[in-house]
Chain A
Amino acid sequence: MTPHPTVLILPVALPLFLGAFSLLFQSMAPDRRVALQRILAGLGLFANMAVAGFLLFWVLQRGPQAFQLGLWPAPFGITVYLDTLTALMLAMVGLLSLLIYPFALETIDPERARLGFFPMLLFLLMGANGAFITGDLFNLYVFYEVLLMASFVLLTLGGTPSQINGGIRYVVLNLMGSMMLLLGAGITYGTLGTLNMAHIAVRMAEAPYTVQAVIAGLLLVAFGAKAAAFPAFFWLPSSYHTPHPVVTALFSGVLTKVGVYSLFRVFPLFFPTLLATWQPLLLTVAGLTMVIGVLGAFAQPTIRRLLSFHIISQIGYMLMGLGVALSPSTYGVGFGLALAILFLIHNQLVKTALLLGGGAVELEMGTGKLSELGGLVHSRPLQATLFLVAAFALAGFPPTSGFIGKLGLLEVTFAAGQWPIAAVSVFVSLLTTMSMIRLWQSIFWGKPRLSPPPGVRAPGRALWTTTPSAILVALSLAIGVAAQPMLTLVQTAASQAIDRAGYVRTVNPELTEQDRSLPLGIQSQRSEKAGG
């Protein structure tokens, strides 16, 4: 049975509805309200995961899907578009938020819960999902803002001085990014006369180089800033260590990845030629992102600061994959993108596991300062094991997902003849290992230096908080061991992502003609349907 394409909107509508619903009880007694919001959030996250899983299954069966909101025909109304890449991202973000939920239940303080932590989870999810499935450039901007606003609130929830200070930087620098996105969308309309991404893809091919370059430049800065790529990453390390650890873990799996996803979505679709001509630029950005990120991690004194810098560093690998996405090589066009997607998924799993593990330590010991921690391996063997596997996965050791990603990217960059960036990635991989060893050794090895403050519940040992990490680590290992199915999956995703004709055809077959004139011939089926 084919479901109605309206289900495509569920990843947005469901969290929004439940979030809005849980805001209805603002005048209720705080404790009861929080209890209700917890349940609603759990419900929403679970339902979202179910929907995302279903969508992934569906798209693998039936190929890409598109849906016109309000049945306004394609270039005029807003399109939502689902292909394997989108569905994978929906599923990953759904999974991460679902796994973070029990951790949040266990560790979030009543104050933050009262200030609306749980509805905000739903709104963040809505923003991310909306940014994933949209097929309209301006709509992408809107959902970026939803995501951003939800993240602002989550970041500053609780309002401690460090949160506020990090928050201001985060907000202002991200606003610069979304400003560029807005301008990019505006210019796209101004020059191409349309906002629908399929339509843009059609018309962008005819646009002169200058127009392409301006739009691409603006979008690159916008998405790059969101992804914390090289010159625009400052917001991340100044803010990620400040909120509650759950929030950091969630952010690491969602926020920067939305930026990376947008790059993956937009560049092969709009600028296939620029991917070749701008390859040096992209690879330089990728290399610098890697190096700066990992060097930053070297100098960090606390768990979450260190891990935050690693987020940046790993983004560089994904950009490297994007840089060689369309390079011809023995592996075929698009293989670089496939591996970048694989790396993205790997990074989401592993980074979240690390931040959850580190967050549990931080919550339990009352500090994340490496020089004060030590010797936890004996009291928390399970937690230590999970952290170790995740750390080595991040450093790219076999048999984890990190190895497959690293190996594949190395092969594909070598095959594309991009030796310098491959060398940089190898070097950064070494630095990552050094840094992860340092992190692991200072937390878990050596003599115990600090005993946990009295009266603190030990989240590190609770079932609710270790299970999510365990699942994440197990998934990472599973990808590493059963690599071929995953490779096939991301290859499908990449081949759909670079298939511009397929995208356009799915959105509206009549757009494929090279239209300089208004596509007014496309009359709406809406006029008949909407007649009631």
Chain B
Amino acid sequence: MLQRAPSKGLSASFALPKFSSSAHSPPLTENTSQTRKNTVLALCLTVLFVSAPLLWLLKPHRSFSFGWWAALPAAAVTLWQTLQLIPVGQGIFWVERYGWAPTLGLELALRLDGLALFFGLIITGVGTCIAFYTAHYFAGDPRQGFFYLLLYAFMASMLGLVWSDNLLALFVFWEGTSLTSYLLIAFKSEYKAAVDGARRALIVTTAGGLALLAGLVLLGLEAGTFSISGLLATPGIATAAVTPIALTLIFLGAFTKSAQFPFQFWLPGAMAAPTPASAYLHSATMVKAGIFLLARLHPAFSELPLWFWTLLLTGSFTMLLGSLSAIRYTDMKALLAYATVAVLGMLVLLLAFDSTYAYAAFVVTVIAHALYKAPLFLSAGIVDHAMGTRDLRKLAGLGRSLPLLAATVALAALSMAGVPPTLGYLAKELLLESGMKPLEQGQWLVGSLAYGAATLSALFMVGAILTLLWEAFFRRHPEEEGARLHHLPSFGFVAPALLLTLLGALGALAVDSVQNLLFAPAVAALAGEPVELHLKLWHGFTPVFLTSLAILGLGTAVFLARSPLRRLLNSLPAQLTSLFVYDQLVNALYRFAYRITTWIQGSPMAPQISVTLLSAALLVAYAFTHSSLASLPLLDSLEMPSLTEWLLCVLALFGALATIRARSRLSAIIALGVVGLTVTLFFLVFGAPDLALTQLLIEVLGIILLVLVFFRVRPDPDLDSGQGTSWRTISKLGMAAAMGFFGFAVVLINHISQVGESISPYFLENSYSIGRGSNVVNVILVDIRGYDTLGEITVLALAALGGYALLRSPQLPLLRRRIQMARRQNGAADQPTPPKTETGHD
């Protein structure tokens, strides 16, 4: 299985497997590890899902201390999960299964293993703080309840995502997070920026989601199961022929969701969401979904070169791009968003590797990021709330007016910059360590790529966060006209951010006690076998530590050189951004759709008729290519036509041609009548007097009708004269020829082959005895197939009603009067104001 050389044991080493049975078989399947079956996982999800509408119905904006209540469900679930740390660490997992659509392989299977628990704790833990914060952020706003609805629905979807043990259920929750985040981003739906950002986020994530769905279905079909644990245990799934395609599709899903290059462009736009939502979505949850999925699938596919190189290259490039872009933005949230992109790239990069360093680095980075990024976002929201803006150019000296907030941000920034002894430092150490690993093993290309990217990106992150910290909190004067302080935030407003920051900053100090409780189970899930970690904050002056120091130093240099850097980055052409490419693509799609629709739907009726007729003609022609012409035995079933019949035929033809050639309407109508008459005679000759009579009478009535109408309807203007007539005529003639063949073939087919005899003799035999009439046709019409006739007279009655309605509909003058009246009433509303482009900030 996995190659794992015993490490020199600086920061991590392995313990022997705890369960002897799991040494050689994958321990994550239910066969080997203990499971507990209950409904408690479903209950937790239900609690969250039910809290969503409940909190909305409670009209929270009316009560002052709602934050406590709102945080309660999430806190309860967090507490329960915390209690599960020990059993899960011992390999005892909760497993639940509920049928949904088992035929399709879709079932609500939940499984709480180390990875799920780790992510679940972050989701609900950060969620608790966010829920508390929201009450302050939206204090008194009537839309607070709706926000809670969305927030809890999102939280539940996210939790379901990490808990689910079924690929399709995972996808369901995945889409749930997409939808709820769409609504969250566009929460302030009057603003164009919010709406646009939401749409872009949804489209990108849906595109990825659909690719993901296809990939998951392919994988599931190949493995014969949609259960994740089952899939991971399927032998040979990694080498199946379909796997590269499926994996590529899954990568698309994960990369769009987790904002990897080139799909990172939706993330900054999503910052139009209210701050609690941004903080939650982009620090701890939504963007981690893709990472989580990759981590989930890691044990099965990590050996594949496709997996390794895709993740390595995408991750390192995204990391560089994100950290480089972050410094460019003066909007606090945008800056943080790009820093998030960088961290996400880092996580993807880490998942490319197969070493315990990388796993530990992954786990620690996830939690460290959640614990410093969420407070940073929350603080940005507080600044926005207090100052009315979060643009760095307008801010300065907040450290004096908002000292507590400044301390919070500073602590979080230290963690983000990776200053010891924060969790961020630990994460960076581990990252560099796992980049160092390939170097030590002599894989120079991989090692230098990973190490270099990690170093560079860390350096720019330091520069970015120092910029934020300095410009907003500690410098004296803003660049532009400064914003004024509206009101001071209450302690409750800052408390959630402070709590998270403290956890993040000081968590590393307790790493010894935490690592095997919290990190090890998650690493075990990644590694596919139980692992014991020995993480340490300090391990001497290793190259990694020296690099860390260098990063801090160079990062400070970047911070000092931020202005020219910003100018440089801003001068890059916009065509290089993937947002531009995306916009161009969507524009091109719209243009293409517009053009093709114009072409299809804008055509006059004639081509549309042609297409319909031609498709039938082509199908018939196709059928005839499959028949051998030798098999025409029935053609001579009747002898030669008599002279009369030939004459009739010629007369009909003459009539038809006369209809075409007629110069006036009346003569055309009469020529059609001639055709009708010959048809009548035809019927008469071949023993159908009823038909002949009906045809004759209908013909007469029809002619009267046509004459009555076309006597009155104005003649056609001569539109045909002029351009391009010859081509049109040729195409019409071609169509006519095709349809001529069609008619000919359709009649002929009756005589090529007859399967079985007609049912008609029965009618001849029985119409008198049973139907009591000697006119067999009439008996068929009114008795044997009277049901047809019933339908037919209904058609006639409907035609009469329709014609009556058309003649009785309001006439033109009346319509015109009405339209004028409506116009007068509408007045101003008739001229819609052109849509203005709002630039919305929250």
Contact = CB atoms under 8 A, between A and B. Distances in A.
Do A and B truly interact? yes
Interface of A: 16, 20, 23, 69-70, 72, 75-78, 111, 115-116, 119-120, 123, 126-127, 130, 138-139, 142-143, 145-146, 149-150, 152-153, 156-160, 168-169, 172-173, 176-177, 180, 183, 187, 189-196, 199, 203-204, 206-214, 216-218, 220-221, 224-225, 231-232, 234-235, 237-238, 292, 295-296, 298-300, 309, 330-331, 366, 371-372, 374-375, 377, 392, 395, 397-399, 403-404, 407-408, 410-411, 414-415, 422-423, 426-427, 429-431, 433-434, 437-438, 441, 444-447, 449-451, 453-455, 483-484, 487-488, 491, 515-520, 524, 526-527, 530
Interface string B585-600: 0100110111011101
Contacts of B401: none
B622 A213 contact: yes
A415 B598 CA distance: 37
Contacts, number: 357
A119 B769 CA distance: 39
Interface residues of B, number: 114
| 9 A-B pairs with least C-beta separation | A217-B619, A159-B809, A190-B750, A213-B623, A298-B593, A153-B802, A483-B101, A210-B627, A142-B791
Contacts of A410: 213-214, 217
5 contacts: A192-B756, A217-B622, A234-B608, A403-B172, A515-B756
B749 A190 contact: yes
B593 A299 contact: yes
Contacts of A172: 605, 609
A407 B178 CA distance: 17
A426 B822 CA distance: 45
B802 A371 contact: no
B243 to A, nearest CB: 14
B105 A518 contact: no
Given A120-B798, A157-B802, 5 more contacts: A157-B809, A187-B746, A216-B619, A366-B822, A407-B106
A524 B766 contact: yes
Contact of B626 (A69, A209, A231): A209
Contact of A527 (B752, B758, B769, B806): B769
Interface in B208-262: 210-211, 213-214, 217-218, 220-221, 224
A519 B762 CA distance: 9
Contacts of A211: 623, 749, 752-753, 755
Contact of B214 (A20, A157, A231, A422): A422
Contact of A187 (B106, B202, B626, B750): B750
Contacts of A168: 605
Nearest to B99: A484
Contacts of B199: 437-438, 441
Interface of B: 99-106, 168, 171-172, 175-176, 178-179, 186, 189-190, 192, 195, 199, 202-203, 206-207, 210-211, 213-214, 217-218, 220-221, 224, 586, 589-590, 592-594, 596-598, 600-601, 605, 608-609, 611-616, 619-620, 622-624, 626-627, 631, 745-746, 749-750, 752-763, 765-766, 769-770, 783-788, 790-792, 794-795, 797-799, 801-802, 804-806, 808-810, 815, 822, 825-826, 829, 832-833, 835-836, 838
Contact of A75 (B103, B597, B759, B794): B759
A463 B309 CA distance: 58
B805 A526 contact: no
Given A213-B623, A437-B199, A516-B755, A149 B593 contact: no
Contacts of A426: 210-211, 213-214
Nearest to B107: A484
A446 to B, nearest CB: 6
Contacts of A430: 203, 206-207, 210
Contacts of B175: 397-398, 403
Contacts of A392: 179
Contacts of B172: 398-399, 403
A224 B619 CA distance: 13
A173 B660 CA distance: 21
A476 B338 CA distance: 39
Given A397-B175, A415-B221, A446 B749 contact: no
A349 to B, nearest CB: 17
